[in-house]
Amino acid sequence: MLKAAAVDLAVAEGTDFMPSDGWLSRWKACHNIVFKKEEGEHQDADLCAALDWKHTNLPQTLYSYSPNDIFNEDESGLYFRGFLEKGHCFKGEELAGSKKTKERITALFCANMLGSEKRPLLIIGKGKQLRCFPKDLNRLPVDYASSKKAWMTGQIFQQWLHNQCGPVVKEKGSSHKGSPYICLLVDNCSVHPSNICLTNIDLKFLPPNTTSIILPMDTAVVKNCKAHYKSRLNHSIISALDAAPENKAKDISNSITLLNALYLANESWNAVSSQTILNCFRKGSLCIDEAADVSDGDDSVPENWMSEEFKEFVDMDKDVEIAGELTDAELLEAANYSKHVKVETTGRF
C-alpha cells in the first residue's frame, strides 16, 4: 500500500518513479517510524543482562560523570481522566470507566541522579492546537508535542533532546575536556534512535528487556508521579461535587480537558521530591553512596479510597503502549505529519 501511495504521489508531481523494497526500507528508517511493539515489561526481564551491564558498563559511567550530570528518562502512558472499569464510588455514585475516560496521553519524565534537576515534563497528545489551549503554546505549564495516536516518535524524541537537553548542558559546561556534558540513560526501543548526533549528551542505551530492573524512572519515579496526579484528579472531582452536589461525578470527569490535565501533571511532577528520585536511583544500585532509606516515596492514599483500590487506580495505565505498530496508511500519514513535528517548550531555559 505504501508503494502504491508513493507511485500516486509521484504521478501527481509528474515524476517517473517505481519504488523498490529497498526504497521502502530506507524510507521507513529515514522517517524513524518503523515502530514495533514495545515489549518492556510484557516480556520477562533479562536479569542476567541487567547484572552484566551494572558490572561492566555502569562503573565507567559513574567514574566519568558526577551524580549531578547523570540523567534518566522514561515515557509512560496516562489515562488523564480515566477510572477503573469496575468504577469507584463518589458520594454514592459509581464512576465507571468509559471510552472518554480512557482518553490517553504519553508523558516523558527526566531527572538527574540526585533529583536536584527535574526536566520539564513533555506531554504528547493527539491534537496540535486544541480549543482549550492558549494561542501562545509557550504559556502551557509543560512542554507539548502531538502525534496521530499520542505516541512517542523518533522525531519527537530527537527534537526533545535538542530543545530540552541542549540549552541546559551548554550552560553547565563540561567537567571533562572533550567529553559530553551529561550522560542520559535511556531504554533500548524503536522510538529512541541510536544514530542521533549529539555533542553535549552521551546517550547510553540499556540492553533489551532490562529497563524495569535498572532504570529508576521506570521502576518507581513514574509511579510516584502518577500517584500524585491521580490523587489530585480525585480531589478535583470531590471539590466539584462539594461545590455543586447536583452534578454527576461522571460528567465532571468527562469535562476534564487536556489543558486541565497538563496543569495537574505539572503539579504532580513538581510534587515528586528529590529524595524520592535519589532513593529510586539507589534502589536500582545506580549510586555509589548507598543509603538505608530506599523507599519509593510518598504515595499517600486519599481518604475516600481503600489502599489496594488506589494502588490499582495508580497502576491502571502502566502497560499502556507509548508506541506500536502502524498500518501502511498510518505510516504514510505519520511521514507527512513528521515534517511538521514541533515540541513546544515553556521557554524556561
CB 267 within 8 A of CB 227: no
Domains of the chain, each with CATH number or no CATH: 1-31 (no CATH), 37-338 (3.30.420.10)
pLDDT confidence bin for 62, thresholds 50/70/90:
confident
Please give the pLDDT value at position 311: 85
Lowest-confidence region among 44-53, 68-77, 196-205, 336-345: 336-345
What is residue 161's DSSP assignment?
Answer: I
Lowest-confidence region among 100-109, 210-219, 220-229: 210-219
Closest CA to 148 of 25, 331, 342: 331
Please give the pLDDT value at position 36: 40
For the entire predicted model, the pTM comes to 0.78
Q: What is the pLDDT of residues 260-290, one digit of tens each?
A: 999 999 999 999 999 999 988 887 667 655 5
HSE-CB for 315 with a 13 A CA cutoff: 8
CA distance 72 to 61: 13
Lowest-confidence region among 13-17, 34-38, 47-51: 34-38
CA distance 204 to 305: 40
Task: Indicate the average pLDDT of the chain.
Answer: 76
With pLDDT > 90 as the criterion, what percentage of the chain qualifies? 25
Please identify which residue in the block is written with the cell numbers 500517584. Answer: 227
pLDDT confidence bin for 347, thresholds 50/70/90:
very low
Counting every residue, how long is the chain? Answer: 349
**pLDDT of residue 150 exceeding 90:** yes
**pLDDT of residue 314 exceeding 80:** yes
Please give the pLDDT value at position 146: 93
CA distance 142 to 262: 7
Q: What is the mean pLDDT of residues 207-219?
A: 77
With pLDDT > 70 as the criterion, what percentage of the chain qualifies? 64
**pLDDT of residue 244 exceeding 60:** yes
pLDDT confidence bin for 38, thresholds 50/70/90:
very low
Q: What is the pLDDT of residues 110-130, one digit of tens each?
A: 999 999 999 999 999 998 878
DSSP per-residue string spanning 322-338:
SS----HHHHHHHHHHH
